[in-house]
Amino acid sequence: MRLYPAIDIKGGKCVRLKQGKFNEQTIYSDAPYEIAMKWANYGASYIHVVDLDGALDGIWTNKEAIKRIVESVDVPVQTGGGIRSIRDIEERLNLGISRVIIGTLAVKNPVFVREAVQDFGSDRIVVGIDAKDGMVAINGWEEVSVISAIELCKQMKSYDVKTIVYTDISKDGMLVGPNINYTKYLVDETGLDIIASGGVSSINDLKDVEQINAEGAIIGKALYANKINLKEAISIFEK
């Protein structure tokens, strides 16, 4: 199982939100690239970067901060937040990003995902599915759609998407453990590579994620709150 240390960027700074609420944030660093270098030095094989401003307004205001991250580490970086066009994807891939995560547009314009996979390949395109009570949330989690996470997963699979980042919003930033039951349901029902996100708080949570055959787990607040030692976790799960 792969571990994805997370770096959430807002206003050029590394922050964490509580349940995706933009007015409940903690700033951890003014230099996100330094955090990326720290995780890479601990042995991270992939880094997960979220452009929170982009997710909310669709504008790539944190381009320089993300560019600095890519330039500072030798491990692949995946990023999401604010992907609204094929050009947005091209810009990020040209910057050296390895995988681009499509969120809101997968709901609003699903055919866009099919086009993106055809243009760039399923290894470069990931779909981010963020859900409240099983229903997909969009626009920086500010709005809940009428499509369920399982429906969207199956639709994305039909477009040759391989990898899904599934986040339970109620768990995110709360250190209460991920939604294992629903994540397992997605893994079992779709056969897709599901990356569990939201709520990971301990090594035991990671063991639970591993047992349901998820492809990986994103670790955010638990790293910043020193609940999980990344180096130790990598030695256990990335054999």
CATH code at position 38: 3.20.20.70
Q: What is the DSSP string of the chain?
A: -EEEEEEEEETTEEEEEETTEEEEEEEEES-HHHHHHHHHHTT-S-EEEEEHHHHHHS--TTHHHHHHHHHH-SS-EEEES---SHHHHHHHHHTT-SEEEE-HHHHH-HHHHHHHHHHH-TTTEEEEEEEETTEEEETTTTEEEEEEHHHHHHHHHHTT--EEEEEETTTTTS-S---HHHHHHHHHHH--EEEEES---SHHHHHHHHHTT-SEEEE-HHHHTTSS-HHHHHHHH--
Instruction: Give me the catalytic one of 51, 53, 88, 130.
Output: 130
pLDDT, residue 97, reads 98
pLDDT, residue 148, reads 95
Q: Provide the domain count of the chain.
A: 1
pTM: 0.94
Helix (H) or strand (E) holding 218: strand 216-219
130 part of the active site: yes
**Tens digits of residue pLDDT in 159-168:** 999 999 999 8
8 A C-beta contact, residue 197 and residue 217:
yes
Closest CA to 6 of 229, 235, 219, 225: 219
Residue 173, token pair as written in the block: 């930033």
pLDDT, residue 172, reads 63
pLDDT, residue 174, reads 66
pLDDT, residue 21, reads 77
pLDDT, residue 218, reads 97
Q: Which residues of the chain have pLDDT under 50?
A: none
pLDDT, residue 140, reads 64
Domain residues for 107? Answer: 2-237
Q: Which amino acid is at 6?
A: A
pLDDT, residue 173, reads 63
208 part of the active site: no
**Tens digits of residue pLDDT in 108-142:** 999 999 999 999 999 999 999 999 888 998 876 67
